[in-house]
Chains A and B, each alone.
Chain A
Amino acid sequence: MNENAKRSQDIKPVVIDIGDGAAIPSRGDRGLVSAWKLSFFFAVATLAYLLIFRPTPYVRLIKFLPDGILVTFQVTIFSILLAIVIGLLTGLGRISRNRAINLVASTYVEIVRGVPLLVQLFYIYYALGQFVKVPDMVAAVVAMSFCYGAYMGEVFRAGILSISHGQTEAARSLGFNRWQTMYYVILPQAWRTILPPVGNEFIALLKDTSLVSILAVSDLLRRGREFASESFLYFETYTMVALIYLIITLILSKLVSIMEERLSRHVTR
């Protein structure tokens, strides 16, 4: 290794940051912006083309799917709300000085991260179904938020730790107790760091809700599968389902990037 390479390695540590959510376009990243525009244009144009020029299966198909889209959104929104609550508690637990609370929160995160989401869904629905009888939607929401709560906990923990310790010291010296410091000083500031990854998790969760179709929840994917296995139009159905998921996640990722810019407007760089 020559001197130059060594030096640049010293200065710039390699950071590989790949989430499972859709790529969030940001203003500074021109390449990604055009990728967003390209894929969005491609998806909408394909959808329009199919509906206008191939109406025979596709119009029937798009009339069949809307209640599935609704269920997908319901599961996503309820899950994310519950996951934020679980995530906040987990995040606070993970930085807690109380050893017992810390251990409980950390164990929860370890367990959730070690079991595949698909297995968790089967477990909560069928294995625990023998003891607790809950409707399918509730089981789906509980399973999704149980899983995403752990990821969200890590987001909250990182967000809270990103606030400089001086803030805590200042608040404590002004006479705030620990709870007040967290609630009035740290969390409002951390929220700005936390929101964008939460948006990212939201998109990832929306995609993962396709897994709940195994619980016989009639989400978008399940409706598509019902249509396909009845009409034998596999290519047409899954093209449509993929396009709808793509358009939804692209719109959401745009919204998240707008939100991200709004939030960082007042931050001096």
Chain B
Amino acid sequence: MFKRTLFTLMALVLLTGTALAKDIVFATDATWPPMEFVGPDKEITGFAVDYMKAAGKEAGFTPVFKAVAWDGIFAGLDSGNYDAICSSVSITDERKNAMDFSTPYFKVRQALVVPKASTVKNIDEMKGKTLGAQISTTGHFAIKKVEGIKDKSYDEVGLAFEDLFNGRIDGVVCDDPVAAQYALQNDKYKDALKIATIIEAGDEFYGIAMKKGNTEVLDLVNKGIKAVQDKGIDKELQKKWIGQ
């Protein structure tokens, strides 16, 4: 009997606890520094994580981050394992058919990273070469768009950089803040790699993805993003995580 009362009490406490501020569970593939990655203390951290925490404070929700591998991340959203995806998802037309997006929260372009000794200035010069990217990212799509380049897809972008560093592939295409993190700041790679070019394919924007028709979460997230942008918090975060 005592056990049962204790259990009911605990359940009550838990329920009231969540009722105060709504939890929104975000899936994130935390292998995409500096946007979202696992820090030294094993916590998921980064620009997007701070951004959503700030948005949650403004709009009244508690973001909970759940580590999910990239190539199953959209399937999990569909089957309802989490409420939204906060994982540097670029808004594309194909993705818009399958899910809803929040207002954009960050602008990116695709960058081509090559070994320091390379003289390549343009992605078209890479014909006949092999370029790596994380599986089904916009970087991967950008490689596939160019005729004559062999594409190689990795589970994580870090593995692609390691293969580039080890000389198995000729370049990596990924979002520019990530490229900058690996090619300019990373202690291991910064002396060996450089950003060759920014691929001009129009600007892309990151958005928070959620299941089609989930307006409750969509409204909350949009409200948070708007408040963060109005107050200029996003500029501070950009300075903190990405630099100029």
Q: Report which A residues bind B (CB closer than 8 A).
A: 126, 129-130, 133, 135-136, 214, 216, 218, 222, 225-226, 228-232, 234
| Contact in complex: B162, A129 (CB < 8 Å) | yes
Among A129, A218, A229, A231, point to the contact of B163 (Cβ < 8 A).
A129
Query: For chains A and B in complex, what number of residue pairs have CB atoms within 8 angstroms?
Result: 50
**Residues of A with C-beta under 8 A to B46:** none
Among A136, A226, A230, A234, point to the contact of B168 (Cβ < 8 A).
A136
Taking CB atoms and an 8 Å cut-off, the chain B residues in 160-195 that contact chain A are 160, 162-163, 166-168
| Contact in complex: B98, A229 (CB < 8 Å) | no
Among B74, B98, B136, B166, point to the contact of A226 (Cβ < 8 A).
B136
Q: Report which B residues bind A (CB closer than 8 A).
A: 70-72, 74-75, 78, 94, 98, 132, 135-136, 141, 152-155, 159-160, 162-163, 166-168
Complex: A218 Cα to B155 Cα, angstroms? 12
**Residues of A with C-beta under 8 A to B154:** 216
| Contact in complex: A226, B162 (CB < 8 Å) | no
Among A126, A130, A225, A226, point to the contact of B159 (Cβ < 8 A).
A126
| Contact in complex: A232, B78 (CB < 8 Å) | yes
Give the Cβ gap from B181 to chain A, nearest Cβ, in Å: 19
Given contacts A135-B168, A232-B98, contact A225 B71 (CB under 8 A): yes
Give the Cβ gap from B135 to chain A, nearest Cβ, in Å: 6
Kindly name the residue among A135, A216, A222 whose own CB sees the greatest number of chain B CB atoms within 10 A: A216
| Contact in complex: A133, B74 (CB < 8 Å) | no
Give the Cβ gap from B72 to chain A, nearest Cβ, in Å: 8
Given contacts A216-B152, A216-B153, A229-B136, contact A130 B166 (CB under 8 A): yes
Complex: A157 Cα to B163 Cα, angstroms? 38
| 3 tightest Cβ-Cβ pairs between the two chains A and B | A229-B136, A234-B75, A232-B98
| Contact in complex: A229, B159 (CB < 8 Å) | no
Tell me the nearest residue of chain B to A225, going by C-beta.
B71
Complex: A126 Cα to B132 Cα, angstroms? 15
Q: List 17 A-B contacts (CB under 8 A).
A: A129-B162, A129-B168, A130-B166, A133-B166, A133-B168, A136-B152, A136-B168, A214-B155, A216-B154, A216-B155, A216-B160, A226-B136, A229-B72, A230-B136, A232-B78, A234-B72, A234-B78
Complex: A40 Cα to B194 Cα, angstroms? 53
**Residues of A with C-beta under 8 A to B78:** 232, 234
Give the Cβ gap from B228 to chain A, nearest Cβ, in Å: 29
Among B98, B136, B163, point to the contact of A216 (Cβ < 8 A).
B163
Complex: A231 Cα to B136 Cα, angstroms? 9
Give the Cβ gap from A115 to chain B, nearest Cβ, in Å: 20
| Contact in complex: A129, B135 (CB < 8 Å) | no
Q: Knowing that A136-B168, A228-B71, A234-B75 touch, tell me 9 more A-B residue pairs with CB under 8 angstroms.
A: A129-B168, A218-B152, A222-B153, A228-B75, A229-B70, A229-B72, A230-B136, A231-B94, A232-B75
**Residues of A with C-beta under 8 A to B162:** 126, 129
Complex: A266 Cα to B153 Cα, angstroms? 51
Given contacts A126-B159, A126-B162, contact A216 B71 (CB under 8 A): no
Complex: A228 Cα to B167 Cα, angstroms? 29
**Residues of B with C-beta under 8 A to A232:** 74-75, 78, 98
**Residues of A with C-beta under 8 A to B153:** 216, 218, 222, 226
Tell me the nearest residue of chain B to A229, going by C-beta.
B136
| Contact in complex: A133, B152 (CB < 8 Å) | no
